[in-house]
């Protein structure tokens, strides 16, 4: 949980810098973490030791060998993989094949980012959406336009915020 705590602390600092507001963001009071495990004790331990966190997920019957092929088992595994792929930050015990698959899949999933300001030099407008293909050492990113997939251009990384997909 050390790295999870560090991640959320950095997000709070980032929020303060972006908004100019030094008070704690509303979302920070109850930090949300997706927890997946095959052992029910992990969930009980996490909830008892880390009261500031809301743990999403739970012991799913789909992870047992006899249920993996059922429709509920397939749904449970796909839900976990989708949530893990969409995660901002991942800390895991690298002991299962599903984590290996998730890690690989995360880099094949195209993620969209929205411009938070205009950048006249390259005709970027507030709200434009791009997919970031790679990051550069100099603070720039190689981006592909959503509306015009053929336009691939180098832009400042600070100009974009990720569009977070939600599952209802």
Q: What are the tens digits of pLDDT across the range 21-73?
A: 888 887 777 788 888 776 778 888 888 998 888 888 766 655 566 666 778 77
Using CA of residue 35, residue 11, residue 89, residue 74, what is the dihedral sign? positive
The class (CATH top level) of 112-162 is mainly beta
- Rounded to two decimals, the pTM is 0.50
Q: What is the 3-state secondary structure (H, E, C) of the chain?
A: CHHHHHHHHHHHHHHHHHHCCCCCCHHHCCEEEECCCCCHHHHHHHHHHCCCEEEECCCCHHHCHHHCCCHHHHHHHHHHHHHHHCCCCCCCCCCCHHHHHHHHHHCCCCCEEEECCCEHHHCECCCCEEEEEEECCCCEEEEEECCCCCCEEEEEHHHEEECCCCCC
pLDDT digits (tens, 9 = 90+) for 130-167: 888 888 888 888 888 776 656 778 889 888 888 876 55
CATH 2.30.30.40 maps onto the chain at: 112-162
């Amino acid at each position: 949980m050390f790295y999870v705590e560090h991640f959320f602390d950095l997000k709070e600092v980032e929020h303060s810098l972006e908004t100019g507001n030094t008070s704690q963001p509303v979302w920070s009071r109850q930090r949300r973490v997706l927890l997946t495990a095959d052992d029910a004790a992990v969930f009980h331990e996490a909830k008892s030791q880390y009261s500031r966190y809301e743990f999403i997920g739970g012991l799913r019957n789909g992870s047992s060998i006899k249920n993996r092929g059922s429709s509920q088992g397939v749904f449970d595994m796909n839900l976990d993989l989708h949530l893990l792929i969409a995660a901002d930050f991942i800390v895991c015990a690298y002991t299962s094949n599903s984590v290996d698959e998730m890690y690989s899949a995360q880099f094949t999933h195209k993620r969209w980012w929205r411009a938070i300001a205009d950048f006249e030099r390259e005709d970027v407008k507030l709200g434009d959406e791009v997919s970031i293909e790679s990051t550069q050492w100099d603070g720039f990113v190689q981006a592909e336009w959503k509306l015009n997939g053929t336009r691939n251009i180098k832009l400042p990384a600070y100009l974009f915020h990720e569009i977070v997909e939600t599952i209802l």
